[in-house]
Amino acid sequence: MYYYFLPETETDFYLLANKGDSGYLIPEMKTVDYFIIIRNYISQEDIDAIIDGANKLQEVQVAIEVDPKRLKSKENLIF
- The angle subtended at Cα 67 by Cα 66 and Cα 70, nearest 5°, is 115
Tell me: the pLDDT tens digits for 11-44? 999 999 999 999 999 999 999 999 999 999 899 9
Tell me: the pLDDT tens digits for 48-61? 999 999 999 999 99
pLDDT at 56: 97
Phi, psi for residue 7 in degrees, rounded to 5: -65, -35
Does the predicted model carry a pTM greater than 0.85? no
Q: How many helices (H) and strands (E) does the chain have?
A: 1, 5
